[in-house]
Chain A
Amino acid sequence: MGNVARIGERVRRTEDRRFLTGAGRYVDDLQLARCTYAYFLRSPHAHARIRSIDTSKAAAAPGVVAVFTGKDVADAKVGGLICGWVVKDKHGEPHKAPGHPAIALDTVRYVGDTVAMVIADTAAQARDAAEQIEVDYEVLPAVIDPAAAVAASAVQVHADVPGNLSYDWELGDKAAVDAAFARAAHITKLDLVNNRLVPNAMEPRAAAAEYDRGTGTYTLYTTSQNPHVTRLVLSAFVLGIPEHKLRVVAPDVGGGFGSKIFIYADETLVLWAAGKTGRAIKWTAERSESFMTDAHGRDHVTHAELALDKDGKFLALKVDTIANMGAYLSTFATAVPTYLYGTLLAGQYTTPAIHCNVRAVFTHTAPVDAYRGAGRPEATYLLETIVSKAAREMNIDPAELRKRNFIAAGAFPYQTPVALTYDSGNYTPILDQAMKLADYAGASERKAAAKAKGKLRGIGISSYIEACGLAPSAVVGSLGAGVGQWESAQLRFNPTGNLQILTGSHSHGQSHETTFAQIVSDKLGIPLDQIEVVHGDTAQVPFGMGSYGSRSLAVGGSAIMKAADKIIAKGKKIAAHLMEAAEADIVFENGAFKVTGTDKNVPLGQAVFSAYVPHNYPLDKLEPGMDENAFYDPSNFTYPSGTQICEVEVDPDTGGVEIVNFVAVDDFGNVVNPMIVEGQVHGGIAQGVGQALLEYTVYDKESGQLLSGSYMDYTMPRADNLPSFNLGYQVTPCPHNPLGVKGCGEAGAIAAPAAVMNAVRDALAQVGAQDRIEMPATPQRVWQAIHAH
């Protein structure tokens, strides 16, 4: 048997061996019996009326099993796709959520909108047949830009949504903000675009479904971050398949970053059609389909103003944002620019008055929803940009300005003016450590040395706060969420003493199979190789809300710890019986139950065996078996925080930006496996750097064509675009969950855009170009900013 793992150890991952040997099982790897293949015909137009569709030639093409159009789906009473979070606008009215049919009925509203589904014996036959579908489109004008969508003369995306406005929402005390601005010594104003991103998990979305007519049971294998939520939505709202007759499996999933939270038309149709045709059906997105139809991220246009007193203390912040929802509301789209954005605008600061107004608008583009960080990167980019701009304008060092406004270590729990109560944190030591790691003190010398060789150096700070583990359920419910935000766990011992952890969280790169086993190994003293983590299958795991919002360890891990406590409590009763001792005298240490003050002990494995072979067992008082469930509903969000410092060198001749140093110091509370946490931070930073310097989703403003729809047009961060990262930690444990953990999955992506852009702006300030640059700061844009006169 292997070793017991301890919390805090850099345990190597359990899941690696299968991925490294090609034995991972992703959806497209599955072989279903008598499988057919689906192909979706997609709209080539951003906005068009479908005059007619003729599918007769396609239906007669070789190998074709069925062709379905919007009418077929409507006739079968398939429900539309839903948005699961109802945001109320500033007048208390619910958001406007226009109908979202799985296949367009008479109007297409973005390039990639589904027009027809072809099912054939091979994927190639389905694709070939789709080419023979004749669609007569009446092409209509499109609106692409979110700011243009709110104009009075704008093209309307939905007839029943006047002004393209889903909601006009606000948070905070406007009167207090106005009063503070009236007495400000300095006001910093900022116009900012948060560029639209395509998530680009390396595994494209996929779905495979089959229907068992013997039992009336459907099985859907899908690339999901939350298979139980998928089952719930498809059962209760869309397809009406009873929940107990639908099994949803998310096997190995190749990255998600938010894009695999949502319930899309594709898996809905694959599942429905499997029942309709009686054949297994598989569909895997081509990358160009991923670009067109995965829910995108960000896409905000914002004006903000920060009021400061003469010493640089923040008095008030006001923010006015237009958030692009795309053509339809995706599953959780509405929560992203509201409860995950406006609530984060206090950041690490004591700003006493904040007001945020958000208009969520429809355009003829792909739906926008949560992407790594979801609202919090948008808040952080805005806040940290305006803070650094204020520092520059007031000639105060940006680190010093931040320190003057940090919430003090002794001030927690801290109530912000934007609804959240921060539970813990200590921000100054984090910034100090980051400054030390980045040699902040030497930055001006390096800037001068670079200037001497014709280069522009700059250094940028980004101090972020994140709210992870959306909670508690009663609160999110009052804010419009359609689901609870707890997590479940089951610890199921087998008679021979090994253990399965069934978790409602889902791992698609986050390493749950290692981390979750590690916390149980530590807690129960069981060797790591005697523990298996099971996730992603509604037929095995009791229930779960899945993985997003950096919630897995803080919420899912807490549920596991609660279940482990129940195991220990039951084991004590068994051990007390076996040792003929009082239960109150039993303690659990190093994997064994001991009678206090004696050397008598019962190893956990023996208690487990007794529970399954209860020959000498208190059956009159205790059930046999060792299998415990727990559900954990957190009492608050968790609040990771940190500071990143980026240093760049700009070549004014080419506009190229090179990252010469990147430092991140984070407070994630207690850390279970530093190796895994560092990996999460690295990946997050890479996505943040990608947003700042490389990634840009471009729709043609007239035609609505997606111009950056492949890896030849959309610049993904590659190994030679990035440096190695320099990481550090501070720890203030989360006070309200059993592990004291806060979550680490999104921090890198939240803080990095501002760190990079503040560095770029610091560099460009040497030539007065700091206010002429937006993300992504591509060489072309940087060169133009420098040379614009």
Chain B
Amino acid sequence: MTMSVSMTVNGKTVSGNVEARTLLVQFLREHLGLTGTHVGCDTSQCGACVVHVDGISVKSCTLLAVQAEGAKVTTIEGLAKSAEELHPMQEAFRENHGLQCGFCTPGMVMSAIDLVKRHNYQLDEETVRHGLEGNLCRCTGYHNIVKSIIAGAAAMKAAGV
């Protein structure tokens, strides 16, 4: 059975016909070609698929596409203002070598931004480490991800985003 779905993704209205079982992440990747959102597991634990739905971080493999009907979705592709100007959190990851293979990175960045906002830009190492429970990285040992997020929080506050 196919169903129609429409939502706003990265500021643009999109719609499509999907099987009812289609996950939000499949809709983003396969229907919209937004392949920056990744799938790293089948038990909703790796966090590679984290996007923002109505401003809150969500694992897009835990949501059916039709459940996001009418929602405002932001993916990693929608974060940077322009090709030249990265979001402060993206810039912080680059500056602090917070990524290696890049596969977990989109989910990490999306989770990080939500974490910063939930803690009102005030983050210490312990809070960040605890807050990343839902995101797996196999490359970095998290050391530089933690550094990136603490630096990114300050940069977001300074930039007012």
Which residues on A sit within 8 Å (CB–CB) of B7? none
- Closest Cβ of chain A to B34, distance in Å, is 7
Known: A22-B35, A685-B141, A722-B142. A202 touches B133 (CB 8 A): no
- Closest Cβ of chain A to B61, distance in Å, is 11
CA distance A174 to B142 in the complex (A): 45
Which residues on B sit within 8 Å (CB–CB) of A511? 100
Which residues on A sit within 8 Å (CB–CB) of B138? 200-202, 255, 257, 683, 686-687, 716
Per-position contact with B for A741-767: 1 when CB-CB < 8 Å, else 0? 000000010000000000000000000
Per-position contact with A for B82-126: 1 when CB-CB < 8 Å, else 0? 000010001001110101111111100100000000000000010
Asked if A254 is an interface residue, CB under 8 A from chain B, the answer is: yes
CA distance A711 to B106 in the complex (A): 19
Asked if A34 is an interface residue, CB under 8 A from chain B, the answer is: no
* Structural contact, A21 and B146, CB atoms closer than 8 A: no
Minimum CB distance partner of B36 in chain A: A22
Identify which of A20, A24, A254, A255 gathers the most chain B CB atoms within 10 Å of its CB. Answer: A20
* Structural contact, A21 and B90, CB atoms closer than 8 A: yes
Asked if B37 is an interface residue, CB under 8 A from chain A, the answer is: yes
CA distance A679 to B144 in the complex (A): 7
* Structural contact, B38 and A26, CB atoms closer than 8 A: yes
CA distance A722 to B130 in the complex (A): 11
* Structural contact, A255 and B141, CB atoms closer than 8 A: no
* Structural contact, B86 and A17, CB atoms closer than 8 A: yes
CA distance A687 to B143 in the complex (A): 13
* Structural contact, A26 and B140, CB atoms closer than 8 A: no
* Structural contact, A725 and B133, CB atoms closer than 8 A: no
* Structural contact, A683 and B139, CB atoms closer than 8 A: yes
B100 contact from A510, A717, A718, Cβ within 8 A: A510
- Closest Cβ of chain A to B87, distance in Å, is 9
* Structural contact, A509 and B101, CB atoms closer than 8 A: yes
B136 contact from A31, A253, A675, A711, Cβ within 8 A: A711
Asked if B41 is an interface residue, CB under 8 A from chain A, the answer is: yes
CA distance A13 to B23 in the complex (A): 33
Minimum CB distance partner of B131 in chain A: A719
CA distance A636 to B150 in the complex (A): 43
- Closest Cβ of chain B to A206, distance in Å, is 10
Q: Which of B42-50, B52-60, B65-73 forms contacts with chain A?
A: B42-50
Per-position contact with A for B122-161: 1 when CB-CB < 8 Å, else 0? 0001001110110111111111111000000000000000
Which residues on B sit within 8 Å (CB–CB) of A145? none
Which residues on B sit within 8 Å (CB–CB) of A254? 38, 40, 101-104
* Structural contact, B43 and A255, CB atoms closer than 8 A: no
Minimum CB distance partner of B86 in chain A: A20
**Interface size counted on chain A using CB atoms at 8 A:** 58
Minimum CB distance partner of B149 in chain A: A719
Asked if A654 is an interface residue, CB under 8 A from chain B, the answer is: no
Asked if A676 is an interface residue, CB under 8 A from chain B, the answer is: yes
Give the interface size class of chain B.
35 or more
Which residues on A sit within 8 Å (CB–CB) of B29? 29
- Closest Cβ of chain B to A79, distance in Å, is 31
Which residues on B sit within 8 Å (CB–CB) of A15? 102
| Secondary structure dominating the interface of B | loop
* Structural contact, B133 and A718, CB atoms closer than 8 A: yes
B34 contact from A22, A200, A201, A287, Cβ within 8 A: A22
* Structural contact, B46 and A509, CB atoms closer than 8 A: no
CA distance A725 to B147 in the complex (A): 12
* Structural contact, B86 and A21, CB atoms closer than 8 A: yes
* Structural contact, A124 and B133, CB atoms closer than 8 A: no
B93 contact from A16, A26, A255, A257, Cβ within 8 A: A16
- Closest Cβ of chain A to B11, distance in Å, is 15
* Structural contact, A17 and B94, CB atoms closer than 8 A: yes
Asked if A204 is an interface residue, CB under 8 A from chain B, the answer is: yes
Known: A124-B21, A254-B103. A716 touches B144 (CB 8 A): no
* Structural contact, B35 and A29, CB atoms closer than 8 A: yes
* Structural contact, B99 and A16, CB atoms closer than 8 A: yes
Identify which of B40, B45, B140 gathers the most chain A CB atoms within 10 Å of its CB. Answer: B40
Asked if A720 is an interface residue, CB under 8 A from chain B, the answer is: yes
Identify which of B46, B93, B128 gathers the most chain A CB atoms within 10 Å of its CB. Answer: B46
CA distance A684 to B140 in the complex (A): 8
CA distance A355 to B109 in the complex (A): 50
Identify which of B33, B37, B39 gathers the most chain A CB atoms within 10 Å of its CB. Answer: B39
* Structural contact, A711 and B35, CB atoms closer than 8 A: no
Which residues on A sit within 8 Å (CB–CB) of B43? 287, 710-712
Which residues on A sit within 8 Å (CB–CB) of B38? 26, 202-203, 254
Identify which of A284, A510, A719 gathers the most chain B CB atoms within 10 Å of its CB. Answer: A719
Asked if A537 is an interface residue, CB under 8 A from chain B, the answer is: no
* Structural contact, A676 and B86, CB atoms closer than 8 A: no
CA distance A748 to B40 in the complex (A): 24
Per-position contact with B for A194-224: 1 when CB-CB < 8 Å, else 0? 0000001111100000000000000000000
Can you list 29 A-B contacts with CB-CB less than 8 angstroms, sorted by A residue number? A12-B95, A20-B80, A20-B106, A21-B36, A22-B76, A23-B36, A24-B36, A25-B35, A124-B21, A201-B138, A202-B101, A202-B103, A253-B101, A254-B40, A254-B104, A255-B103, A255-B138, A284-B39, A287-B46, A288-B42, A510-B100, A679-B100, A679-B140, A682-B140, A686-B142, A687-B138, A718-B142, A719-B129, A720-B129
Q: Which 4 A-B pairs have the closest CB atoms?
A: A22-B36, A19-B102, A254-B103, A686-B141
Extra 13 A-B pairs, beta carbons < 8 Å, given A12-B97, A21-B80, A678-B97: A15-B102, A16-B99, A19-B105, A21-B90, A26-B38, A201-B138, A202-B40, A254-B103, A287-B41, A508-B101, A510-B100, A684-B141, A719-B145
- Which residues of A come within 8 Å of B, CB atoms? 12-13, 15-26, 28-29, 31, 124, 200-204, 252-255, 257, 284, 286-288, 508-511, 675-676, 678-679, 682-687, 710-712, 716-720, 722, 724-725, 748
